[in-house]
Chains A and B, each alone.
Chain A
Amino acid sequence: MTVVQISFFVLAVASVASALGVITFKNAVHCALSLILTLLFLALFYLQLGAMFIAVVQILIYAGAIMVLFLFVVTMLASEASDTRLADRIPWQRWVAGILGLVLVGALSYLLFTGTSIDNRAVATGANSLSHVVNAQGNTEAFGQALFHGFVYPFEVTSLLIIVALLGAMVLGRKA
Chain B
Amino acid sequence: MSTQPQLGVSEHSNTERWVAWSLMFGSYGSFLLLVIAGIVSVAGSTQWGLRLSTAGVVLMLATPALRLVATLLHFAAQKKWALALVCAVLLGIITLATLTGMYLH
A and B interact = no
A residues apposed to B, CB below 8 Å:
none
